[in-house]
Structure 1
Amino acid sequence: MARFEFKLPDIGEGISEAEIVAWHVKVGDRVEEDQGLADMMTDKATVEMESPVSGTVIELAGEVGDQVSIGSPLVVIETDAAEGEAPASDAAARAELAQDVAEQMGAENPGAEGVAETPAPAERHSPAPFVSSEVEKPVPAPQPGAPAAVPAQAATHAAAHALASPAVRARATDLGIDLTQVKTEGDRVRHADLDAFLRYGSGQGYQAPHANNARADEPIKVIGMRRKIAENMAASKRAIPHFTYVDEIDVTALEEMRADLNDNRGGRPKLTMLPLLIVAICKTIPDFPMINARYDDEAGVVTRHGQIHLGMATQTPAGLMVPVIRDAQDRNVWQLATEIGRLAEAARTGKAKVEELSGSTLTITSLGPLGGIATTPVINRPEVAIIGPNKIVERPVFAKNSHGGDEIRRAKLMNLSISCDHRVVDGWDAASFVQGLKKYLETPVLLFAN
């Protein structure tokens, strides 16, 4: 028998560690060559680690959620080779594995960046020491003196020795209370005595009937995508002085035009509000280049981008992801609708490529049918702004009629939020940008004018 240490391969891209997000084996399992061992997550992607040898697992590097440094042992396997003899496929397997992992992590895209900045390594958890057996979750022990519910049948039998009205007796039976245990100042038990027992008498063997309906506390370890989201959001709020501006927009005419477009769309995808809003953003950005920018605060450089690579915050089963619509300024509403649908589906099914989840210059976030009156979205660092449309509501508004008098009409109104990095974008700039958007959205024919 020989002891083989499978070490986390050097993935490149400056990655120094990876997080264990799932184990596919446990101590004592027999594994074959190329069998999956664990899922490891870095800033780039999640990859399955495969065993380069056959044998029995004798040690694992920590638990789900722990960080493992590149070059550190991930799994120790006892192989059938003689003591001191390395497996014949060791060197070749390591080289092949490192290449496969590098390809999955996006090493072929050296210019690709993550969806958002991540904290410095010092802020992360240190990897746990090796464990040679599975860690069992503790089973909570029953608390001393915990009261037990009295069966209804037993309560009815015992209650026959206490004086009470039929209504009180029926209530006690429903609650599982032994009437002989209820203290009373008179000769019979009354509803007030039951109420007092419910408040103060649990130490006498009574347990509230609905107590067992409460769900037990459930500790959930923050790992994988949820940990990345938490780290990115915390880093954004720590580093960026946010401010949010909200304005109300009358989208009555826009919604009417959208309905007409959908009625005549033919085989093209159905339009939501989002493609029309993106067209308005792309037409407004040239006058406000500070909005479509990224701030490298370490280098002290703000890059105002000419192309608009629009991030689209998308909720997925794995957590929030931000697929990117490349060159949004060059697409019409139908092309945008098609790309939005394709990217959203790829993100939700886990098929989005690395390059489709990085490099955004501005992000838009919408709660869709959930709506919301107003939002204060968190900036997708290192960008300097994020735009959040809110739900559309119908309300009466005052307007001028053709004779100059006042009239009340039905209108569809939507609040539009924008959060900005105050180090780069001034309040006046943000408000002026939204006013520019408002012009296009309230006069939608301008969206199709050159």
Structure 2
Amino acid sequence: MTAIVFVGPTLRPEEIAGAGDFFSLPPVAQGDVYRAALSRPRAIGIIDGYFSGAPAVWHKEILWAMSEGVPVFGAASMGALRAAELHEFGIRGIGRIFEAFRDDVLEDDDEVAVVHGPAEIGYLPASEAMVNIRATLALAEAKGVIGTESRRALEAFAKSLFFADRNWPALLAGSAPHGAPESELAALADWLPEGRVDQKRLDGLEMLAAMRATTGADEPAPTPFHFEWTYFWDAFVARSEMSASAPSAKGQLVLDELRLEGPEAYRQVETKALVRMMAMTGAARPARVSRDAARATLKRLREQFGLYARADLDRWMAANDLNASAFETLIDEEAAVEALRSRAGRSIDARLIDELRLGGAYARLAARAQQKDEAVAALGRLDAGATEALRGPALRLWYFEKRLGRPMPDDIADYAARTGFADVSALDAAVYREWLLHRQKPQD
């Protein structure tokens, strides 16, 4: 399996390609490490990442990747920062910049931040990182190009600049009033083309070498922590899954066809999709079931089986060998499953599609969705009769009684949610497509 490296302005693509079996991705942002770890790479290396313009990579997604057995390395830039913050948890920090942050010699994010161009021009840097300035000035002092006082003055002036304004021409032009002699500035300018130190690049290359040397083991080293599944992690996973694998417009219409077959058909596929999701993301934190949630689940179950009278419920429990305690446990577990479905939200859609493919239903549902597309195209527009049908209960009544052979539920919003529709209007739109097809080709 290939190792993944998040990199931008620090290293050129050919340096990544020439370093070994690495697949490079753009600078890391929030959610990227989580999504990369889902593919179970040999390792993940973080060099560059976004500090602004996109949410920064979250510490918890790095911990999750490691808890899943994926080694994570960090160096040079964002990688060095996160490695310094998480080194006690087992992330493998590499290089001098990481060590400086780990040992509290450096602490500001702006030490590694640069502005750079887009991917189309190779993330070309437009400013100089403060860590590179420090390393270059230290070497210049060691080589006798500048003295200690000049090095201190240049460092202080560079640090005072906004990170996007840091570059060697600006630094040399503005340092004289801060105590650096003109003669030493001139000597430094002559020396820089050959003497400049790119510490970020050196640390990045060192990280690639470390990844290549230490990721050949068959079994990953155990992590020194227990990954805690929280509500915020649930929400993060849902957002990341949704943004990474939302079905296409065609896929959504296929899912509508599944939902139109009713809650029982939908739930059978949804349950398998939830198992698939947990197999990839890990078992979710058990839901805390409130009494209100348990009562709602009990109400739904009684409606599903027609257990409206207490005597009916007692007979059902007896027929299913359930005493009061076991029945209460069953209701709590079902309410917990409902909570898991609710947390998954739209992030499960792509896995629903996969389950339809594996179950052999996808082609049938896709063909039916295509028939409806053709019916809509043939109609050209909503005629007055269709518009009126959509405004009243007649279309829903037709769908439930004629198509499903069941009474129309009292709570349409709850029904829409239980069958995976985003809301009642989404259900109505799908029912209209169903009605339109049958209006053109009467089958009932």
What is the TM-score with the length of structure 2 in the denominator? 0.21
Q: Greater strand percent: which structure?
A: 1
What is the TM-score with the length of structure 1 in the denominator? 0.20
